[in-house]
Amino acid sequence: MSSLNLDDFTDLIERPDGGVRRDAEERRERQGLPPGALGRLDELGEWLSAAQSAVPVKTVDRPRVVLFAGDHGVAELGVSARPAGSAAALVRAVLAGESPAAVLARRQEVPVRVVDMALDCDPAELPEEVAGHRVRRGSGRIDVEDALTAEEAERAVRAGMAVADEEADSGTDLVVLGDISVGGTTPAATLIAALCGTDASVVTGRGGEAIDDLAWMRKCAAVRDALRRARPVLGDQLELLAAVGGADLAAMTGFLLQCAVRRTPVILDGVVASAAALVAQRVAFRSPDWWLAGHDSGEPAQAKALDRMALEPLLAHGVKVGEGVGGLLALPLVRAAAALSAELPERKPAEDAPAQAGLSEGDPAEDAPAADEGLPSGADRP
């Protein structure tokens, strides 16, 4: 019997402050630019104000990339362009600064944190700060067996919650959430199909490295078989994550829920983060108010999940690589929105700025006599 009751999050999570958001909207109207001149940046700045409970908004000075890593047993079926069990190589590339995410993070001066939840390698091969939260070595093959035991699923969710607390306590003011996985888009598609009530073919995409038609058909079959195992446990999100998720997805779900509790805004990266977010929304319906969708990866499952959560992607460049890259590309937009909202000056009231009314100091009109002063009786007024 699990000691973790996810239903508690429904009461723990509140929406961003609506009153603060209205104050931010009013402040924006006093900044002089016409409505809509900054497009969606206005909306982003107001969203951040509400999340921070601050007007003017505070600039985003301490963002962080958090990547949960794991291997998935379903990759043995050839549903991924990468060989099964090879996610550790991707992690090493990030740690060495040689991956796309590492390059973008370095250029933006954003630290990257990698959390190993279920990599298929010896944990001694990785730094302790990476492997310290590992739940197991690889997740089960979801088409024929559970990804995790119930105890492992709970440990993974709690690990994600702990990471969220660590980030909030360290002063992180915004998180880019992504994954490093091999086979991860298959359980992600399964979770989204199960929660949205759709068929396997509707949600199955070609992954980060564009698998061929034969691999896509194998992936469809794996999602279809996993869906049969998912439907009986739809009423319990912890059981659902254990059956057809994985340690990384379970940890990301816990992370997102606890970030909402701690009022930490999150930019979601790709389909795996979106799948975890959809599970978290099923747990606590207010939680998506704390998240932004960084980009549209082109994965049909991601589009389905974001539509269900009413999240509109900030970018649509078709970036499929994962690892937080799409979220990192969106981060400058969010930081720009915060900076503009915080630093653009407000207009001075007209009564305090006569020059704005066409008058300047010493204007003769200021010293002109009153309307009737000095005029002969009955004289015409000009």
The pLDDT, as a whole number, for residue 355 is 43
- Predicted structure pTM score: 0.89
Catalytic residues: 323
Q: How far is CA 93 from CA 17, 137, 180, 328, in A?
A: 40, 20, 11, 17
Separation between Cα atoms, residue 43 and residue 38, nearest integer Å: 9
The pLDDT, as a whole number, for residue 351 is 42
What residue ranges define each of the domains in the chain, with the CATH number in brackets? 63-337 (3.40.50.10210)
* Greatest extent of the chain over all pairs of C-alpha atoms, in Å: 105
* Among 179, 183, 182, residue whose Cα is nearest residue 87: 182
The strand order across the sheet containing 63-71 reads 112-118, 63-71, 174-182, 266-268, 291-293
The pLDDT, as a whole number, for residue 2 is 64
Separation between Cα atoms, residue 53 and residue 24, nearest integer Å: 10
The pLDDT, as a whole number, for residue 350 is 58
The pLDDT, as a whole number, for residue 245 is 98
Query: Which mean pLDDT values do the consecutive 10-residue runs of the chain (382 residues) have?
Result: 86 95 91 86 95 95 98 96 95 97 97 98 95 96 98 98 98 98 96 97 86 93 98 97 98 98 97 98 98 96 97 93 95 96 81 44 44 40 35
CB atoms within 10 A of CB 373: 7
The pLDDT, as a whole number, for residue 371 is 41
The pLDDT, as a whole number, for residue 204 is 94
Q: What one-character-per-residue DSSP string does 108-175 give? A: HT--EEEEEEE-SS-GGGS-HHHHTT---SSB--TTTS-SS-HHHHHHHHHHHHHHHHHHHHTT--EE
The pLDDT, as a whole number, for residue 36 is 83
Q: Which two tokens stand for residue 69?
A: 């890593």
The pLDDT, as a whole number, for residue 346 is 87
